[in-house]
């Protein structure tokens, strides 16, 4: 009988940190300083150090991080930005929301944007490439960097799922002009609510992003430009500082879980498990398998107490909002096929090796005995 294995267990993540988190909460409460300030600066400094960049800017979400990044680069009406339809909708929404046109191109079998299609989609209006390091696996940054260089394009990296991931030893978020991270509760480095971070090595962009996240205010009286309120709370920053020292070990735990899935599902012809090439340090925000009869497999796993998720069942161009972009069913065959095959398995830090084995055993049972 399979034990109950949830897709994610946030209570288990927080249990060992409970006292420290409560103490941090109490400190902020006593200080009474809740908006920006030292707590946020401290978190930004430490985050930047760990990501190998000069500057980090704390914001209220990964979505706003993307919007502010595009705004900081002056991208707007009349411009095109190339991205992938296989992502959380925010990556494309951000392009639309700054008034630019999202130009989508299909992905490779590893779920990430295909550089050869990016190259083919460049026009005189293209201003930037917005690659998404989906599942925590870095995109092909050599190829994308070369295209950007050749055409004079910015790269804005969507690192929402990829904190600490690295490509040829260099952290994602340090390749493009700006990196955009999410601190959503389901991310490996997670706030107790919404949050996000921008990274850059460029001092001018850093200064611009500080203004953009804070209503355009240089001082309380001096509004330099009109912008929204995208600030990170001091409380979230204090809680994140408790978690940040654990990010390395959490990431390693996820990588070990992924490796165990690779081993445990090896030889099962029906199921494709993500590979782990040496030039990539993938952080497995999700461990995504591609499998036939995915919906029946998912139902079976649910029936034996195993949680799973689908990231994402509807490609962006086929959502109600995405249909306004001018694409249709058939526009991106790889993304569309994968949307019907993918399944994210439990992979959170704290998942036990024997639980991974249980999931593998259940998947094997499904294909050998249940599926007809």
Ligand X SMILES: Cc1ncc(COP(=O)(O)O)c(C=O)c1O
The residues binding ligand X (CB under 6 A) are 61-63, 87-88, 90-91, 132, 158, 160-161, 182, 184, 194, 196
Specify the pairing of strand 126-129 against strand 154-158. parallel
Q: Supply the minimum distance, in Å, between the C-beta of residue 230 and ligand X.
A: 10
By beta carbon distance, the residue nearest ligand X is: 62
Comparison of 148 and 183: residue with beta carbon closer to ligand X: 183
- Look at phi and psi of residue 47 and say left if phi exceeds 0, alpha if psi is from -120 to 50, else beta: alpha
Please report how close the Cβ of residue 196 comes to ligand X at its closest, in angstroms. 5
The least distance separating ligand X from the CB of residue 63, rounded to whole angstroms, comes to 3
Q: Which is nearer to ligand X, 80 or 194 (CB)?
A: 194
In angstroms, rounded to a whole number, what is the distance separating the alpha carbons of residues 117 and 105?
A: 6
For residue 341 the two structure tokens come to 């095959």
Q: Is 220 exposed, middle or buried (0-12, 13-18, 19+ CB in 10 A)?
A: exposed
Q: Give whichever of 342 and 360 is closer to ligand X, judged by the CB atom.
A: 342
Phi first, then psi: what are they for 98, rounded to 5°? -85, 0
- 169: Cβ contacts below 8 Å, ≥ 6 apart: 281
260-267 long-range contacts (CB < 8 A, ≥24 apart) are 260/353, 260/356, 260/357, 260/360, 261/287, 261/289, 261/345, 261/347, 261/356, 261/359, 261/360, 264/356, 264/357, 264/359, 264/360, 264/361, 265/289, 265/360, 265/363, 265/364
Task: Pick the closer one to ligand X by CB: 243 or 260.
Answer: 243
Strand locations in 35-140 (E) = 55-59, 80-83, 101-104, 126-129
Q: Which is nearer to ligand X, 13 or 190 (CB)?
A: 190
CB of 52 vs ligand X, minimal distance in Å: 21
For residue 183, the minimal CB distance to ligand X (Å) is: 7
Q: How far apart are CA 116 and CA 97, in angstroms?
A: 26
Q: How many C-beta atoms lie closer than 10 Å to residue 136's C-beta?
A: 30
Least distance from C-beta 197 to ligand X, angstroms? 10
Closest distance to ligand X from the beta carbon of 236 (Å): 12
């Amino acid at each position: 009988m399979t034990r109950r294995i949830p897709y994610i267990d946030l209570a288990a993540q927080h249990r060992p940190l409970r006292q420290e988190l409560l103490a941090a909460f109490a400190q902020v409460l006593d200080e009474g300083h809740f908006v920006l300030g030292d707590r946020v600066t401290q978190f930004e400094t430490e985050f930047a150090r760990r990501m190998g960049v000069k500057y980090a800017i704390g914001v209220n979400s990964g979505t706003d991080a993307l919007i502010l990044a595009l705004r900081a680069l002056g991208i707007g009406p009349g411009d095109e930005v190339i991205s992938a339809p296989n992502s959380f909708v925010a990556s494309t929404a951000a392009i639309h929301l700054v008034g630019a046109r999202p130009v989508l191109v299909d992905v490779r079998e590893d779920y990430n944007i295909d550089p050869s299609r990016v190259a083919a989609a460049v026009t005189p209006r293209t201003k930037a490439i917005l690659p998404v390091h989906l599942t925590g696996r870095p995109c092909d940054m050599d190829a994308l960097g070369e295209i950007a260089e050749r055409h004079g394009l910015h790269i804005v990296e969507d690192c929402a799922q990829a904190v600490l991931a690295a490509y040829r030893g260099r952290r994602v978020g340090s390749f493009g002009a700006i990196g955009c991270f999410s601190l959503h509760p389901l991310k490996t480095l997670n706030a107790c609510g919404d949050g996000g971070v921008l990274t850059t090595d460029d001092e001018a962009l850093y200064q611009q992003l500080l203004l953009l996240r804070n209503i355009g205010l240089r001082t309380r009286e001096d509004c330099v430009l009109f912008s929204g309120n995208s600030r990170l709370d001091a409380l979230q920053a204090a809680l994140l500082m408790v978690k940040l020292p654990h990010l390395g070990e959490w990431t390693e735990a996820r990588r070990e879980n992924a490796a165990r899935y690779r081993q445990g599902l090896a030889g099962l012809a029906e199921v494709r498990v993500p590979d782990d090439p040496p030039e990539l340090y993938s952080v497995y925000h999700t461990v995504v398998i591609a499998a036939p009869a995915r919906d029946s497999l998912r139902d079976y796993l649910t029936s034996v107490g195993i949680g799973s998720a689908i990231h994402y069942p509807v490609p962006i161009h086929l959502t109600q909002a995405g249909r306004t972009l001018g694409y249709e069913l058939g526009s991106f065959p790889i993304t569309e096929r994968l949307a019907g095959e993918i399944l994210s398995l439990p992979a959170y830090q704290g998942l036990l090796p024997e639980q991974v084995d249980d999931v593998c055993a259940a998947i094997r049972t499904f294909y050998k005995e249940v599926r007809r």
